[in-house]
Amino acid sequence: MLDDMNVIKQRDRDDALGVTGRQYEQVDYVVALENAEHDGRELNNVVIAGMGGSALAADLAKVLLNDRLALPLEVIKHYRLPNYVDKQTLVIVSSNSGNTEETLACLVEARQRGAQIAATATGGTLTDQAREYSIMLAPFPHNGQPRMGMFYNLRAILTILVAFGVVSSSILDELAGTRSWLQAETEKWVKEVTTVHNYAKQLALIAVGKTAEFIGSDLTSSIAYKWKISWNENAKNVAYWGALPELNHNEFMGWTSHPIEKPFVIFDIRSDLDHPQIAKRFELTDRLLSGRRPKANEVWLEGDTLMKQLLWGCILADFVSIYVGILNGVDPTQVDLIEKFKKELAGEE
């Protein structure tokens, strides 16, 4: 089925595969900052507030910058800022649409506390308020589903951090430098490449009809989470994610009861950059749970740097989950129930 172009065209009506196949174009987008001047005050910490794909871009930034940051960085995915946020905090409010109510609530609170503030968005209320209050704004041009514009958002967040002197501009050069390599890798997974040669299609066939769990590490937990939300939104499947070593302290025992035949599929998101003990934990976990849970399928992230591996894993997640959506007979792009929920929450229906 995945090699039948007529079936793909019928089920992928908005060309999610084509959009995913062009995501590499976002990594060298030059963000033109508005209200770029700031007062140069000393910063003690950074908070990024966002939801969904906007929060995922922040999660990626946090992992990528872990060894470069001299300040603590926290990602917030709800309505309230931590109590420590004050005038020495940089608060980045990030929303693809610019209308995410949780993020807008954090903007109000950041202004009340006198924090240093910056924003990323494609438009909406957040953009309007950033311009009204002369807040640094990193706009980007994505007009599709937020999860498909995540690299734009990542560029915007990193550009803000560079502008405030939190990190060196070399991080933007490194990100832009992945474009050609990502393009070449992406071309291996497009719809025209047949299943026998297409890793993304092969993984989709392994997963279809089952509930998936994606397991990462301290380096790759954001990618495991990305796979989970891609499964939710593209494949319209329930899915779960976890990370080692924490998983061995709780979930590990959860697999030891109930019937052996469990309708799950396990994907271990592996990196050759992981701590040696993490590699040992992946292997030991799979061995000790043999017969209690399905054998894990290892997805080894490609690339000779952490940045390449994380970006590669993000794009592959979208391709595989879209193919699962096609096998499920659903439209991979539309998220009608989420939109309905937002309207009802806002009292619009």
Summarize pLDDT for 37-92 with one digit per residue, the tens. 999 999 999 999 999 888 999 999 999 999 999 999 999 999 999 999 999 999 99
Per-residue pLDDT, averaged over 175-187, amounts to: 98
The DSSP bridge partners found for residue 92 are 48, 118
**Confidence bin at 103 (pLDDT 50/70/90):** very high
- Confirm if 97 and 121 have CB atoms less than 8 A apart: yes
Of the two residues 291 and 327, the one the predictor is more confident about is 327
Classify residue 205 as exposed, middle or buried by CB count within 10 Å of its CB (0-12, 13-18, 19+): middle
How many CA atoms lie within 13 Å of 242's alpha carbon, on the beta-carbon side? Answer: 17
- Confirm if 114 and 88 have CB atoms less than 8 A apart: no
**CA 51 – CA 33 distance, rounded (Å):** 22
- Confirm if 314 and 152 have CB atoms less than 8 A apart: no
- Order of strands, sheet of 136-139, starting from the edge strand that comes earlier in the sequence: 73-76, 45-49, 89-94, 116-121, 136-139
Cis before 245 (ω within 30): yes
Q: Out of 132, 249, 261, 349, which one is annotated catalytic?
A: 249
**CA 227 – CA 315 distance, rounded (Å):** 10
Q: Is 233 one of the catalytic residues?
A: yes
Of the two residues 251 and 145, the one the predictor is more confident about is 251
Rg (C-alpha) for the chain, rounded Å, is 20
Whether the pLDDT of residue 175 is over 90: the answer is yes
Q: What is the pLDDT of residue 106?
A: 97
Q: What is the pLDDT of residue 349?
A: 55
Q: Domains in the chain, please, with CATH?
A: 5-10+189-328 (3.40.50.10490), 22-179 (3.40.50.10490)
Percentage of residues in the chain with pLDDT exceeding 90? Answer: 85
Could you tell me the maximum CA-CA distance found in the chain, to the nearest angstrom?
A: 62
Q: Out of 228, 233, 236, 308, which one is annotated catalytic?
A: 233
Length of the chain: 349
Per-residue pLDDT, averaged over 109-124, amounts to: 96
Per-residue pLDDT, averaged over 98-106, amounts to: 94
Per-residue pLDDT, averaged over 12-26, amounts to: 95
Q: What is the pLDDT of residue 336?
A: 73
What is the pTM assigned to this prediction?
Answer: 0.93
Cβ contacts of 76 within 8 Å, gap of 6 or more: 47, 48, 49, 50, 82, 106
Extract the tokens encoding 44: 């003690």
Extract the tokens encoding 228: 């989970």
Pairing of the two strands 211-216 and 136-139: unpaired
